[in-house]
Amino acid sequence: MIVMVLTENKTSYSAVQIPSDLLKLLDDFAKTPQAKKLGVTNKSQAAKKAALEFLEKYSQTEEKPTRFILPNLEEPEESLDLDIYEKTVICNKCNLESCKHTDTLYKDKYVKMVLINSKIKIPKIK
């Protein structure tokens, strides 16, 4: 069970049940140098940060993506089928935000030219 603080200035807490193996992952992460850089020192803070980032990403009003399809006739498996949102890109082939297809969106000169000519803006890489 994790206790999560949702606001810094209130002392109201609620309990959330999550699988114990996920709790262990949060606990292990909280002990890493990367967690320390983020200001995370324990599993509750890690859970809070993850929940807040999840809500920030997914609770906004539903944004309609720009569908970007670019066939590759020589290598069909390299064809692009992407949903481009304001803050992220989702590959419709892999169902991932980061894969070889999304990488192509940022690295391939021809793809960049097509995006510019189509006046499609892509999110900055974090």
Across residues 59-73, what is the average pLDDT? Answer: 82
The whole domain housing 36 covers: 2-58
Same domain for 49 and 70?
no
The tens digit of pLDDT for each residue in 2-56 reads 444 344 445 577 788 889 999 999 999 999 999 888 888 899 888 888 888 888 7
How many structural domains comprise the chain? 2
Give the DSSP per-residue string, 26-50.
HHHHHTSHHHHHTT--SHHHHHHHH
The tens digit of pLDDT for each residue in 89-109 reads 999 999 898 999 999 988 999
Instruction: Out of 11, 35, 58, pick the residue that ends a domain.
Output: 58
CA distance 85 to 87: 6
Decide if pLDDT at 77 tops 70.
yes
pTM exceeding 0.75? no
